[in-house]
Amino acid sequence: MTDTQYFPRGFGLKSQIEGQLAEDYRSRIVEYLKSHQFTLRAGDLTFRLASEFGFCYGVDRAVDYAYETRTRFPERSLFITGEIIHNPHVNQRLREMGIRFLDGEGAAADAWSTLGAGDVVILPAFGVTVEQMSSLRQKGCTLVDTTCGSVLNVWKNVERYARDGFTSLIHGKYNHEETRATASRTSLHKGGKYLVVRDLEQTELVTEFIRKGGDSKAFLEHFLPACSEGFDPPVDLVRVGLANQTTMLSSESLQVAERIRLAMIDRYGEPELAEHFRSFDTICSATQDRQDAVQRLLEEDLSLMLVIGGYNSSNTNHLAEMAAQRVPTFHIEDAGCLLDAESIRHKPVREKTPVLGRGWLPSGKAVIGITAGASTPNNRIGEVVERVLEFRGLPIRELPLG
């Protein structure tokens, strides 16, 4: 194995990149909103920004490290295993900085096989699988690890489950980079197993099997490939430890855990529960804070909600899901989705692709709620506000933003 340099804490170059970060992501409008009780009034429009929004600590850290890496290795070939976060503008900015992607849009088919010693590889905030990490170390690449601390916390629990003979039941989306990385941690202990459930409907299939047993073949056909190799339901659902993708809807993760707990009590009795069930709340604090802030904002008299963030961002989708239960809600990637005062391109809740909507902006007085996922930079939020103001003939330069 070739020696590998491993950097999990950046390079201490924050002072050298601060100017570029501010130029790329700062928003004067957002700064005004934050200093004025998250409110901006202009004409007959009122904008109300959720008190927790946009870049979280983990995302800030990941983006900082990527910029630091470019500064630290100006002449080296730089790669990243996949999207550093789920925001198309941030990922495009990294491409413009000469950082090449090993997976996803624009990645070469043989990108992984051509890596070698001397290449610098950034590991994204979601983390990478055990297999990917092993491959990169074998190649002797220099590794800059931006994996979020909240994700690392989930990994510790999953590894503990595997060590103690518990199957990790993960509430998440199996095709999400974070969930795949988390599931792979079970392989660090011999016999480690995992099963990924996406929602309460799939959870019911699991609780039914725990309580009554059933057709293992049918069960596996439903859950493949979201379970470990050789998964044996009658054996591997006897002892279960709960974990979750950190960006899932908190209330749903709690319901998943409670339904599994009750099924274990029904099957084995409450005195034996600790031998069959474990659970730790591993929703990240930033995800929880943003969901709580949306909940508070929805208590106000809003005309509509704009949720800004990548369409493939799990935490952004869940913010839209929460808001849509109370008020007309439009999940948009950026200001370009606001075509005019009548037309909007947005992704409806639980749909995979955006659609063209009409009549989104009321013609008179309106209170517009705004939030943004944890991977959305401030400048994209400010651009959305500016775009709406333009539709009402209120150029941002004429507003007293200081």
DSSP string, 61-93: HHHHHHHHHHHH-TTS-EEESS-SSS-HHHHHH
Sheet order of strands, 99-101 included: 6-7, 142-145, 120-123, 78-80, 99-101
Catalytic residue, candidates 178, 252, 321, 386: 178
Cβ neighbors of 267 (< 8 A, separation 6 or more) are 210, 211, 276
Strand pairing partners for 293? Answer: none
Q: Tell me the backbone φ, ψ of residue 378, rounded to 5 degrees.
A: -60, -35
Cβ count near 57 (within 10 Å):
14
- What letter does residue 8 receive in the DSSP assignment? S
Question: What sign for the dihedral angle of Cα 226, 227, 232, 238?
Answer: negative
User: Three-class SS string for 222-258?
Assistant: HHCCCECCCCCHHHHCCCEEEEECCCCCHHHHHHHHH
Return d(Cα 169, Cα 240) in angstroms, integer. 6
Q: Quick check: is 52 catalytic?
A: no
Q: How far apart are CA 284 and CA 244, in angstroms?
A: 10
Distance of CA 223 to the CA centre of its chain: 22
Q: Are 178 and 247 in contact (CB under 8 A)?
A: yes
Contact of 337 with 266, CB cutoff 8 Å: no
CB 310 within 8 A of CB 373: yes
What's the Cα-to-Cα distance from 160 to each of 2, 19, 277, rounded to whole Å? 30, 42, 13
Q: Which residues are catalytic?
A: 178
